[in-house]
């Protein structure tokens, strides 16, 4: 019996990796919930971690300083966006509290 290999979009892969990396969930748990193979997700996470360390897994070479800088800036942008979103939500909650006080 043969099985078909799944083709997954880059966005799907990144979301799966985020569940493991950002939410500290276990690989088997995430793989099972998404209906993908544990080994498949392990490979995605392994490659992602290598890229974050500055090594391209397919080449085994270090990234150029420019690419490394781009990665650092992308991380910074991600962090700033997250902080901005938290502040927006907090502002909205404070605004609702203020409105309820004046009613």
Q: Is residue 1 part of a domain?
A: no
pLDDT at 1 over 50: no
Distance CA(82)–CA(12), nearest Å, equals: 20
Residue 53 in this model has a pLDDT that exceeds 80: no
Name the residue with higher pLDDT: 80 or 52.
Answer: 80
If one counts the domains in the chain, the total is 2
The pLDDT value recorded for residue 97 is 79
Reading the block at residue 102, the tokens are 């004046």
**Chain segment 61-103, per-residue pLDDT in tens:** 566 788 888 889 999 999 999 999 999 999 988 888 777 766 6
- Single pTM value for the model: 0.51
Tell me the residue range of the domain where 70 lies.
64-103
Given a cut of 70, is residue 11 above it in pLDDT? yes
* Co-location of 58 and 73 in the same domain: no
Answer yes or no: do 81 and 58 share one domain: no
Phi first, then psi: give them for residue 13, nearest 5 degrees.
-60, -45
Does residue 81 fall inside a structural domain?
yes
For 27, 55, 61, 98, the CA distances from 58, given in Å and listed in that order, are 22, 9, 8, 55
pLDDT tens digits along 30-40:
999 999 999 99
């Amino acid at each position: 019996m043969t099985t078909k290999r799944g083709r997954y979009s880059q966005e799907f892969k990144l979301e799966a990796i985020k569940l493991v990396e950002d939410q500290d969930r276990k690989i088997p748990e995430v793989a099972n919930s998404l209906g993908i193979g544990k080994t498949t997700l392990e490979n995605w996470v392994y490659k992602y971690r290598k890229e974050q360390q500055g090594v391209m897994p397919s080449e085994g070479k270090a990234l150029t300083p420019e690419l490394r800088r781009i990665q650092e800036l992308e991380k910074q942008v991600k962090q700033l966006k997250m902080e901005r979103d938290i502040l927006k939500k907090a502002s909205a909650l404070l605004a609702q509290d203020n409105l309820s006080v004046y009613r």
